[in-house]
Structure 1
Amino acid sequence: MKAITIRQPWATLVAIGEKRFETRSWRTNYRGEIAIHAGKKVDVKICRQEPYRSILQKHGYTAERLPLGAVVAVGRLEQCYNVKADLGTAAILGEEADLVDGAEYIFGDFSAGRYAWEMTDMRLLKEPLSVVGRLGLWNCDHPLRN
């Protein structure tokens, strides 16, 4: 299964379904099942800012209680959109000119020219699976159980 390492708190936000788009400087043609791996670093300052703090808290997380160095969820990489325009409080994606705003916009870097990877069907693992992450898309050879 393909996997992607994401720094915390963004990995958890994707895993719990509060963040639908993972933004990257590069595009991917891959579509299909994907494991979300939480990196070993946490941006503690971001975790204490709104809307991060209250959304994490709603799901029982704090900056000090986020899984690290582990696969936390499995879902689907549905689509990869080019960011057409960053309007400052919203962004325009893809040829259909889909609008991203609110917390979703705040949770990503939607600078024009970047890519928004649409993540769907996220399922948290019952227990995070300790795995060494990697850069880019990588193959997770460990059996993942929900």
Structure 2
Amino acid sequence: MCRGERESRDLLGMMERSRSSGNYKNPCLTMHQPWASLLVQGIKRIEGRSWPAPIRGRLWIHAASKVPEPDTIKAMEDFYREIYAVNGITDLKFPEHYPISRLLANLENLILDTGCVEVVGCVTREEVVCWEEVPEGVRLEGQTDFCWLCEQPQKLIVPFEMRGHQGVYNLERKIHEAAVRGLCPVTAPLPVKFPLPDPQDPLSLKPGSLASRPDGSKASEMEKPPSLSAAIAGAQVVAAQFSKKKSGQSITIEEDMPVSTRTRNKSKEKGM
């Protein structure tokens, strides 16, 4: 089997696992800071993963308990400052602080203290780089195998107690009901509306959907000034600290897989 055939087979396999890991009613994703707040504040528009997005629609964002290092915050703020400057935005306002989860007394509950976004699609990095319909800065955000496309950020005013997990998981019903009442819209510095390949199909933004467009157009990668290249390299370095123990890399959190996929694998190991 040639390399191209293997890559196509692997991509189809990941897409199938993603589709089969559904049954999400109120999906939530735990992310490290500063990425969690950058996403909810509308600064970050693409959530990078090594696996396709298993959901469309509202995705709740939960901040993990790890305190971000000052160098990590600086590297990510430099990254977004540079890619927004590509589109002429030079007065980017970052969060004053990056809240994290915390243990409560002797309980193992964490705090949902960020908010939510709308996942409108998922495409590959190669597709984002060539996507002329979105701002150049957005194309530069695509630094991972799969890019979850996020719109309509909303922040949570009052934190809620909850337990965090890896992968995408469902919020408990009571937490979800309370969280919905505490949402506040966010004014993003450069709101992006990701165009659907098929306006009649809200699920048409998926891996391969842009590469197979009828016009077959492609855009070459833009030339980057030294400051932009340095900012991208710095962001990749700090992101790697959460994935260096795993195969592959993520720009936001250490590698994981959809919850139901892990559950199936554990069941196989136990002979269930």
TM-score bucket (shorter structure): 0.7 to 0.9
Alpha-carbon spacing, 1:102–1:39, altered in 2? closer, same or farther (3 Å): same
Question: 1:88: which partner in 2?
Answer: none
CA distance in 1, matches of 2:100, 2:36: 9
Q: Render the CA deviation track for 1:68-93: whole Å, top value 9, x for unaligned.
A: 123211221111111117xxxxx616
Question: 1:79: which partner in 2?
Answer: 121
Q: CA deviation at 1:138?
A: 0.5
Identical positions, percent: 23
CA distance in 2, matches of 1:32, 1:53: 25
CA distance in 1, matches of 2:100, 2:137: 27
CA distance in 2, matches of 1:110, 1:60: 22
The 5 A counterparts of 1:46-61 are: 46-49=72-75, 50-51=77-78, 58-61=93-96
When the two chains are superposed, the root-mean-square deviation of aligned CA atoms in Å is 2.8
Answer yes or no: is 1:126 the counterpart of 2:152: no
Structure 2 gap ranges (5+):
1-25, 82-89, 102-110, 184-272
CA distance in 2, matches of 1:80, 1:18: 18
- Correspondence for 1:67 among 99, 104, 113: 99
**Greater RCO (Cα-Cα under 8 Å, separation 6 or more):** 1
Q: Render the CA deviation track for 1:93-124: whole Å, top value 9, x for unaligned.
A: 6xx5666754873xx5614xx11101111110
| Range that drifts further, 133-142 or 66-75 | 66-75
Q: CA deviation at 1:16?
A: 0.3
Instruction: Specify the code of the residue in structure 1 equivalent to 2:143.
Output: F
CA distance in 1, matches of 2:166, 2:49: 12
How many aligned positions are there?
Answer: 131
CA distance in 2, matches of 1:44, 1:139: 31
Instruction: Specify the code of the residue in structure 1 equivalent to 2:126.
Output: K
User: In 1, are the aligned partners of 2:32 and 2:64 still within 8 Å (CA)?
Assistant: yes
- Correspondence for 1:9 among 34, 43, 50: 34
Question: 2:56: which partner in 1?
Answer: 31
Q: CA deviation at 1:36?
A: 0.8
User: In 2, are the aligned partners of 1:20 and 1:104 still within 8 Å (CA)?
Assistant: no
Give the number of the structure whose residues are more often helix, by fraction.
Answer: 2
Give the TM-score normalised by structure 1.
0.74
User: In 2, are the aligned partners of 1:36 and 1:73 still within 8 Å (CA)?
Assistant: yes
Q: Render the CA deviation track for 1:53-82: whole Å, top value 9, x for unaligned.
A: 979x92442xxx321123211221111111
Q: CA deviation at 1:35?
A: 0.3
The structure having more radius of gyration, on CA atoms, is 2
